[in-house]
Amino acid sequence: MKTERSEKLFEEAKTLLPGGVDSPVRAFKSVGGTPLFMKEGKGSRIKDEDDNEYIDYCMSWGPMILGHADEDVLKAVTDTARYGTSFGTPHRNEVELARLVIEAVPSIEKVRFVSSGTEATMSAIRLARGYTGRDRIVKLDGCYHGHADFLLVAAGSGLATFGTPDSAGVTEGNARDTLVAPYNDLNALERLIEAEKGNIAAVILEPVPCNYGLILPKEGYLRGVRELCTRHGIVLIFDEVINGFRISMGGAQEYFGVTPDLTTLGKIIGAGLPVGAYGGRADIMAMIAPEGPVYQAGTLSGNPLAMAAGIAALHKLKSINAYSLLDKKADYMNSLLSEAKDKYKGEFHIENLGSIYAFYFTDLEKIESVDQVRACNMEKFAEFHSRMLQKGIYLSPSGYEVAFLSTQHSEEDIFKTVDAVKKSLTEMFGR
Ligand code: KE4
């Protein structure tokens, strides 16, 4: 596999950008080797600067549920760009996308668009503090909510690969009001909340964590968190930046039937352009400036092009009945994977929910906690990642990230992928 062009570009990038990247997890630090510079994508495929083609499962970390370069998304963006890219004024596209989001997501009665998932979560936390007048928040170990100072505590995603649950530069004062509880442990959360005696503004969690591998909520867990927050007047925030419009049209909250007070979104609602959003109960959202006293602003919030991309994507997800399509593709993939799952039981494990997959090198046959992911063999994942890459399959370059199917992954793509999984495991385990 030729990588000269990527290597040359990476050497130059490292003289200009910290670590040669604009986001750490792209740097291949935890899987080794040179990060590949992609130049184009179409459907399920991406091509790097050395013209190597891959079946993509990183899918830009989640946004590309319709596949790369979707015709309808491209047309919406180019048609809009013809009239200008940003005015810093209200634009009809914000109204249209807001209507689609509110229609789809059970908890959202009012929504505010921002430009990233980080902006969405940091704004939602400020809103919860403003609404309750309380200072402290609870996040769950291993959940990642972007890089706002007070959320870079026991986080997942790129931080997990660096083995530093916290980041330098986050002051004690900033982290002091962030409490951490283990995911999937209702008793621990209840003890923490009761110890805090009414000083908790919000509990924020990924309903289905996807930044420490993929961890499914135990039966009744999300309902239990909801009831705890209701009982203690705590704002429950579901960070659905990944889960939203991925697990279903209404996200994890629709899929599991548990409605938070606020929801954060990103990724898919921008279809690859920079969009984040936070929304929820109208009485809470009424606290947001200019209606209320909680300030939040953004030059490019609701950008017409990004809104156009999101509008096209959400209309298409509905019109092609995307989630039953994705379920069929996942069923096919799981039917092909079952042989490898059985053969390597006790050494290799796969977790799956809809179009989301995670691969673990572990003796466990079920992953239910972040500590269990921590105990997985990430060196073996790195070897697996490299072997899959050599076979033309691009997995997210970290064992703490997940893999995504899109509506464009064909049966042939899936067959080739599972064949590559089997061949890689045979090479690794010698059988
Ligand atoms: P952004 O600020 O990166 O748009 O969103 C932050 C964020 C918030 N909440 C959840 C649940 C998220 O997963 C993310 C970002 N996800 C990571 C990958 N799992 C982004 C990849 C990266 O950091 O480059």
> Model confidence over 318-328: pLDDT tens digits?
999 999 999 99
Residue (of 406, 426, 423, 428) closest to 55 by Cα position: 406
Cα-based torsion angle of the residue sequence 364, 329, 215, 190 in order, rounded to the nearest 10 degrees: -130
Q: Which two tokens stand for residue 300?
A: 């490019």
Q: Residue 104 — very low, low, confident or very high, per pLDDT cuts 50/70/90?
A: very high
How far, in Å, from the CA of 49 to the mean position of ligand 1? 25
pLDDT of residue 68: 98
Which of 60, 145, 206, 395 best tests ligand 1's pocket when mutated (most atoms within 8 Å of CB)? 145
Answer whether residue 347 shows pLDDT above 70. yes
Question: Which residues line the pocket of ligand 1, CB cutoff 6 A?
Answer: 23, 25, 61, 116-118, 121, 144-146, 157-158, 206, 211, 239, 241-242, 266, 276, 401
Q: Residue 166 — very low, low, confident or very high, per pLDDT cuts 50/70/90?
A: confident
Q: Domains in the chain, ordered, with CATH?
A: 4-69+321-429 (3.90.1150.10), 71-319 (3.40.640.10)
- DSSP letter (8 states) at residue 297: -
Answer whether residue 281 shows pLDDT above 60. yes
pLDDT of residue 172: 84
pLDDT of residue 156: 81
Lowest mean pLDDT among 162-176, 205-219, 301-315: 162-176
H helix and E strand count, the chain = 15, 14
Centre a 10 Å sphere on the Cβ of residue 4 and count the other Cβ atoms it contains. Answer: 10
pLDDT of residue 26: 97
What is the number of residues in the chain? 431
Residue 157 to residue 153: CA distance in whole angstroms: 12
> Which residue's C-alpha comes closest to atom 20 of ligand 1?
61
From residue 39, how far is each of 6, 9, 45, 169 by CA, in Å?
Answer: 10, 12, 11, 34
* Amino acid at position 82, single letter: R
Atom of ligand 1 nearest to the CA of 118: 2
Atom of ligand 1 nearest to the CA of 267: 4
Q: Which percentage of the chain shows pLDDT scores above 90?
A: 94
Atom of ligand 1 nearest to the CA of 206: 11
Q: What is the pLDDT of residues 236-275, one digit of tens each?
A: 999 999 999 999 999 999 999 999 999 999 999 999 999 9
Q: Residue 167 — very low, low, confident or very high, per pLDDT cuts 50/70/90?
A: confident
The mean per-residue pLDDT over the stretch 80-104 comes to 98
How far, in Å, from the CA of 188 to the mean position of ligand 1? 26
Answer whether residue 164 shows pLDDT above 70. no
At 147 the three-state DSSP class reads coil
Whether the full predicted model's pTM is greater than 0.85, yes or no, is yes
Strands (E), 212-259: 235-239
Supply the angle between the helices 411-429 and 378-390 in degrees, to the nearest 10. Answer: 130
How far, in Å, from the CA of 145 to the mean position of ligand 1? 6
Q: Which two tokens stand for residue 299?
A: 């030059």
Q: What is the pLDDT of residues 22-64, one digit of tens each?
A: 999 999 999 999 999 999 999 999 999 999 999 999 999 999 9
Residue (of 326, 330, 332) closest to 248 by Cα position: 326
The mean per-residue pLDDT over the stretch 299-307 comes to 98
The mean per-residue pLDDT over the stretch 80-89 comes to 98
Q: How far apart are the first and last CA of the chain?
A: 25
Residue (of 354, 302, 390, 362) closest to 115 by Cα position: 302
Residue 344 to residue 426: CA distance in whole angstroms: 9
Residue (of 5, 36, 7, 58) closest to 404 by Cα position: 58
By annotation, the residues acting in catalysis are: 144, 239, 267
The mean per-residue pLDDT over the stretch 93-112 comes to 98
The mean per-residue pLDDT over the stretch 360-367 comes to 97
The mean per-residue pLDDT over the stretch 117-128 comes to 98
Mean of all residue pLDDT scores within the chain: 96
Asked if the bond preceding 106 is cis, omega within 30° of 0, the reply is: no
